[in-house]
């Protein structure tokens, strides 16, 4: 057994998505598109001192169901320490990042000898089962600007990508519970997500991704006053912004938010996917 291993996982902002439930959580998931980010989560795994696993995020103990499930599945009694550039619960896929980072690092520390696809499948299934996400894990494993054409883990889904990179700015106003939204009626959201995906498939550019994301945000009925006002401010100065699903967060390409007078966090699209360091 190794002493410890660390993985870096990019954050993932979903612009739009449709929900595709299935009995088997490794086959369930979402279609959609989003941006993976150079801001992300660094996850370090070491054997736990006692029999109980512990999970710590930015110095505070935390319960993240998908992480517990990943540790159980890998039979890895571990201490997981995560450092995040991004807030949890605000649409950046932090729970998914912790799940896949834990899977990659625990596989190494406990010498489980699973393949990358097997580890991504475990993390994806754990995230879907917990209701904390549907497509973040596979997007975060891929990197870039992934288009999720078919739902599910790596054995079932189909991914493409927008061949582009960009500076990304974001501001967060608060949290939105992904599991609450996903456990409600998702019909309207899925209809809007399907329409948005067909636009981006027809024209896989960042600009069409932003148009499709804004239309989705409007139609999905999830906008808050702060989010609407901020998107309008960016539009007024000729920028491109939309809402990060599912969080009270606005993201913009280039200098959209700073041009509109905000003081955003700044990063870029991530060129690769989750990696062991």
Ligand X SMILES: CC(C)(COP(=O)(O)O)[C@@H](O)C(=O)O
β-strand pairing of 60-61 with 54-57:
antiparallel
Number of residues binding to ligand X, judged by CB under 6 A: 18
Asked whether position 34 contacts ligand ADP by CB under 6 A, the answer is no
Residue 53 or 135 having the CB closest to ligand X: 135
Q: Which of 26, 73, 121, 178 binds ligand ADP (CB under 6 A)?
A: 178
Q: Which of 40, 53, 66, 91 binds ligand X (CB under 6 A)?
A: 91
The answer to whether 248 and 232 are in contact (CB under 8 A) is: no
Residue 239 or 273 having the CB closest to ligand ADP: 273
Number of residues binding to ligand ADP, judged by CB under 6 A: 20
Residue 175 or 255 having the CB closest to ligand X: 175
DSSP element (H, E) containing 27: none
Give pairs for 256-262: CB < 8 Å, separation 24+: 256/169, 257/169, 257/170, 257/171, 257/230, 258/169, 259/234, 260/230, 260/233, 260/234, 260/236, 261/233, 262/169, 262/171, 262/230, 262/233
- Minimum CB separation of residue 248 from ligand ADP in Å reads 11
Q: Which stretch binds ligand X (CB under 6 A): 73-81, 130-138, 214-222, 234-242?
A: 130-138
How far, in Å, CA of 27 to CA of 150, rounded? 10
Binding site for ligand X (CB under 6 A): 14, 17, 30, 32, 91-93, 95-96, 132-136, 178, 245-247
């Amino acid at each position: 057994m190794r002493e410890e291993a660390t993985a870096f996982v990019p954050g993932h902002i979903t612009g739009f998505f449709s929900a595709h439930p299935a009995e088997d959580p490794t086959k369930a998931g979402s279609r959609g598109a989003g941006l993976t980010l150079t801001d992300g989560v660094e996850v370090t795994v070491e054997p736990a001192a006692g029999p109980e696993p512990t999970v710590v995020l930015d110095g505070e103990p935390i319960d993240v169901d998908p992480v517990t499930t990943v540790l159980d599945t890998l039979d890895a009694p571990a201490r997981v320490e995560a450092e995040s550039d991004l807030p949890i619960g605000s649409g950046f896929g932090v729970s998914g990042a912790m799940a896949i980072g834990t899977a990659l690092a625990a596989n190494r520390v406990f010498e489980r000898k699973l393949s990358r696809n097997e580890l991504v499948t475990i993390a994806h299934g754990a995230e879907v089962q917990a209701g904390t996400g549907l497509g973040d894990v596979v997007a975060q494993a891929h990197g870039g600007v992934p288009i999720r054409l078919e739902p599910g883990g790596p054995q079932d889904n189909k991914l493409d990508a927008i061949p582009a990179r960009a500076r990304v700015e974001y501001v967060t106003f608060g949290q939105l519970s992904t599991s609450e939204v996903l456990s409600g009626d998702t019909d309207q959201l899925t209809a809007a997500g399907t329409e948005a995906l067909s636009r981006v498939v027809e024209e896989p550019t960042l600009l069409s991704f932003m148009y499709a994301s804004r239309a989705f945000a409007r139609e999905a009925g999830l906008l808050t006053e702060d989010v609407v006002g901020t998107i309008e401010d960016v539009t007024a100065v000729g920028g491109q912004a939309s809402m990060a699903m599912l969080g009270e967060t606005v993201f913009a390409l280039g200098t959209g938010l700073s041009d509109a007078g905000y003081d955003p966090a700044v990063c870029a699209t991530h060129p690769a996917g989750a990696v062991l360091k």
